[in-house]
Structure 1
Amino acid sequence: MKKQVLVYGLFLFLTAVSVSAQKTTWISTTESAPWQTFDIQSNSGTNATQIEIFPNKVLQQIDGFGSCFNELGWTSLNELKPKDRKKIFQELFEPGYGAGFTICRMPIGANDFSRDWYSYDETEGDFGLKNFSIKNDLETLIPFIKSAQKYNPKLQLWASPWSPPSWMKYNKHYALAKVPSVFGTAENGISDNQLGKEGEDMFIQEDAYFKAYAIYFRKFIEAYKKKNITIGMVMPQNEFNSAQWYPSCTWTPGGLSKFLKFLGPEMAKTKTDIFFGTFERPSEQLFKGAYSKEVSSYIKGVGFQWGGKDAVGKIHQEYPQLKIYQSEHECGDGQNSWEYCEYGWDLIKHYFQNGVNAYLYWNTALNEGGVSRWGWKQNSLITVNKKTKTYTYNPEYYMMKHLSHFVKPGAHLIESSSVKTKLDRDDVLFKNKVNLDSNTDNLLAFKNPDSSIVVVIYNPDAADKAITLRSGKTVLNPILKSKSFNTFLIK
């Protein structure tokens, strides 16, 4: 009788493991073999890295993932056949199909990946903005966005300017620096007496200009609304500390705070949120200098990129009521290499571990070489070959897809831990010698609104790696391929 009970118990255990495996999806990507579906094969577990997921230890909510609508993204995709463009937009935006992007960024006027400089009103002294027009965007940004909306009508959008209209700036020029010689023959026509620098307000600090610029934002929101495109949030300035050779404008924290007093009421008229940003320096004091009592009620969040990554954790801790967006994934050098993809993964981990609610890639698509109007070579999710009319999904696309395909808006980051061997894990669980949370390295875990668990793991080693993954009653024993991204969806 005792033997029968043991056999029956073993049967129930094996059945439970089988059911867990059947309810788990495993997708893996290497440089040579992207987006492969695997069965959960078993390893011995003896020397496997032990990973523990804690579904009930819930952290920040996730709003979504996406990229940016830039003019050169649209012109590159226009090199392709219409059927190929449709495939790309379906892959990027249709829910449950491919990347399933849910939130994207766009510029207000020209940015560094525009066809050339423009703003919506370049008429000197037009404080009434009688000549305001989004005519330029009808050729590029609006069809770009509408192509995405066909596959995701609920796509969220936010926007920021790189430069105000040039007549609103002290130097009367869209840029603040000369084009560095390393960027080739690109020119911007700026003279020595028009150069700007970090730590000064290049926007004219007068009420008439503040008021006109705030209305400029509102007119932008309203003009896009007439095209059935809703902009849900704005940030007042891209990289407000950076004097660049492409469209840019430096502000002091005090100058931005003055402008926000005008911008807040105008955005309230259109029910548009305001985030502070984009923030590209490691000093949280730059935020504190602008976050005055007069404007704090207008600011719902903060956008961080580049050097701002070293301030994000401190801001999140001190101002937990504010949402945090990673507003621009670092752009690379146009090589779209696997090595840079690995660096990108480190960025993603850092931002999520420091409280971000959304993660935005930068260039959606570029022609081969990734060169901007002002000579800068950058990475993109998709590379288009103009000669052959073909396209390629780059490594960073699959890195983003490993998250965005599975992690749904409203999900939460959850705590997770890993230790090297089963013996180490036994010490942790039963002898309480070390803290599991201190050993988390190459994984992120999320809990979706439907309670499914998403675990994303990168194996950086030159050899395959055996792991044992535990989430509640589910125990998985896969072997991760060398240098592979892996997502496990546990239902």
Structure 2
Amino acid sequence: MGTTTAWMTTDAAHMMRPLALAAPGHAPIDDELTFDHGVRHQRIAGFGASFTDSSAFLVNGLDGGEKRTVMQRLFSSDKGIGLSLLRNPIGASDYARWVYSYDDMAGGVSDEHLDHFSIEHDRADILPLTAWAMRINPDLRLIASPWSAPGWMKDSGTMISGSLLKRWYGVYADYLVAFIKAYADEGVDVHAITIQNEPLFEPSHYPGMPLSAREAVDFVLRHLRPALHAAGLRTRIFGYDHNWDHPEYPEYLLAHAAEAFDGIAWHWYGGEPSVQSLLSRRFGDKPVYFTEGSGGDWIPAFEAAFSNVMRSGIDILRHRSRSFMLWNIALDERNGPVVPGFGRSTCRGLLRIGKGKRVEYTLDYYGLGHFSSVIRPGATRIESSQTPSIRTLACDNPDGSTGYVFFNDTQRSRYVHAGDGALDVAVSMPPKSALSIIARGGDSGEVGA
């Protein structure tokens, strides 16, 4: 007989509570779930969030013992939820204490040869925490995304609004290569970059830079790919990095330069995740990565917000994504810090670090943990049945275990039976509850009251 470990979330006071197994009962089954380990889908890269400038500043400002606890609870698979991906901004995002790039120049001066390039800003908080996370979890990979080129490369002369001038395409490619090489010199490998965060949106109150699909193809084919090759770098390039509601953008990328992109990255702020798999199938199973979805005040906590994380995460991964990533790792009691002039922030981090450096683990931490605690990097998603009430996800891990994630998306308790070669359990799932199970070998039991 194998071993099975389970965690359940039922409400804000009971998040990811360990659940003991008991002998199977004889109550009528509401939902029968089946699994086929022979039908195999995408390889899972992992789960994570972002050390934005704000997040890294808050976490690194904790006292030593509390900081170690936070890092272990984030990145250790034994002492925490085992996050295995980071998506960090290249320069300032909206969640930074000020606007900065790695080559800021004043008074309209340019720096064609990048003589003033420096990642000194990141050495204070972002780099040491990223390196520490990699030591805790050696499987962790870093994705990096720019919100804007340095202002002197843009027609606006600033990182807030404005487009990249075509005459600087080559220099901007060199800038991104310089970032990757500088991080490597610090012992931090950049696994992949996206070429522009949310290229279809031009914010007026934080760094951003519109980039059309045609411009993206030109930049990658003629400048970024050759620059990476010349530098001997194998960093992957993910295209798009924006919402599901404009699939024509990544479709153009793949129709005109499929070989130049190692995957397509998606966000959840518009549209439906089904476009991920539709586009991937059309273009030779092009890899899919979900790189950003933030929780926030626009979806009320607890039930609606937690349900959104669970429902969306399962759907995203069932539609071929190799990753599921939320946004800020940590924010303060005002949902910041944010760049000057941003206004009121409504986003929620995995952690809330408030006055007195009090750390609160939010519903997003536990929602993401329901996935990352049982599905390891390198896992393969297998076929799993769903019912109108119970959403499911199942993955075979590299160590031979199988991770299962179930979500009861109804307002009624459901008595669920889940069975295959690795698992045979009967589970009582309260309304809007989530259950994660990791099974090693054959096991049977009954979970719940």
Give the drift of 1:266: 1.4
**1:216 partner letter:** Y
In the aligned structure 2, how far is the partner of 1:153 from the partner of 1:446? 20
The structure 2 residue matched to 1:365, chosen from 324, 327, 330, is: 330
Gaps of 5+ in 2: 441-449
Instruction: Tell me what 2:432 maps to.
Output: 483
Q: What TM-score do the two structures reach when normalised by structure 1?
A: 0.82
2:3 to 23, 37, 56: 23
- Separation in 2, partners of 1:308, 1:236: 21
Q: Give the distance between the partners of 1:224 and 1:473, measured in 2 at CA.
A: 42
Deviation at 1:300, TM superposition (A): 0.8
Q: Structure 1 residue aligned with 2:17, among 22, 30, 36?
A: 36
| Partner Cα distance (2:124, 2:272) in 1 | 34
Alpha-carbon deviation of 1:440? Answer: 7.7
Please tell me whether Structure 1 or Structure 2 has the larger radius of gyration of its CA atoms.
1
Partners of 1:246 and 1:308 lie apart in 2 by: 24
Is this contact kept in 2: 1:257–1:292, CA < 8 A? no
Q: Report the aligned-residue RMSD.
A: 2.0
1:187 maps to none
Structure 1: give runs of 5+ residues left out of the alignment.
Answer: 1-18, 177-195, 197-201, 420-438
Contact 2:390 2:409 in 1 (8 A): no
- Number of equivalences: 424
Query: Under a length normalisation based on structure 2, what TM-score does the superposition of the two structures give?
Result: 0.89
Matching residue of 2:118: 133
2:342 pairs with 1:381: no
Secondary structure class of the residue paired with 2:334: coil
Shift of the alpha carbon at 1:308? 6.2
Determine the C-alpha separation between the residues in 2 that align with 1:466 and 1:154: 36
Counterpart among 407, 419, 423 of residue 375 in structure 2: 407
Q: Tell me the equivalent position of 1:290.
A: 253
Separation in structure 1 between the aligned mates of residue 248 and residue 424 of structure 2, nearest angstrom: 45
Please name the residue that 1:169 is paired with.
154
Shift of 1:272: 1.1
Instruction: Compute the displacement of 1:483 (Å).
Output: 3.0
Distance 2:385 2:139 in 1: 35
Deviates more, 1:269-278 or 1:458-467: 458-467
Give the Cα–Cα distance (whole angstroms) in 1 for the partners of residues 72 and 209 of structure 2: 36
Residue 288 of structure 2 corresponds to: 324
Structure 1 counterpart SS, 2:348: coil
- Which of 348, 353, 374 does residue 313 from structure 2 map onto? 348
What is the DSSP-based 3-state SS (H/G/I as helix, E as strand, rest coil) of the residue aligned with 1:296?
helix
Q: Which residue, out of 293, 300, 303, partners 2:265?
A: 303
Question: What letter is aligned with 1:413?
Answer: R
Does the aligned pair in 1 maintain the 2:390–2:406 contact within 8 Å? no
Q: Secondary structure at the match of 1:125?
A: coil
2:262 is paired with a residue whose SS is: strand
User: Which residue of 2 is the match for residue 191 of structure 1?
Assistant: none
Distance in 2, matches of 1:62 and 1:111, equals 27
CA distance in 1: counterparts of 2:303 and 2:361, whole angstroms: 12
Shift of residue 139, structure 1, vs aligned partner: 1.7
SS at match of 1:118: coil
Equivalent residues of 2:9, 2:16 under 8 A apart:
yes
Which aligned segments of 4 or more residues in structure 1 are displaced greater than 4 angstroms? none
Structure 1 residue 171: Cα displacement: 1.4
* 1:220 maps onto 2:151 in alignment: no
Q: Measured at CA, do residues 133 and 241 of structure 1 come closer, stay the same or move farther in structure 2, by a change above 3 Å?
A: same
Amino acid of the residue matched to residue 353 of structure 1?
A: R
Can you list the C-alpha shifts for 1:398-421, whole angstroms capped at 9, x where unaligned?
1111110111111111111144xx
User: In structure 2, do the counterparts of structure 1 residues 106 and 473 end up closer, same or farther at CA, with 3 Å as the change threshold?
Assistant: closer
Take 1:102 and 1:94, find their aligned partners in 2: how far apart are those partners? 9
Query: Residue in 2 aligned with 1:249?
Result: 209
1:412 and 1:446 in contact (8 A); partners too: yes
For 1:35 and 1:115, the matched residues in 2 are separated by 33
Kept in 2, the 8 Å contact 1:416–1:440? The answer is no
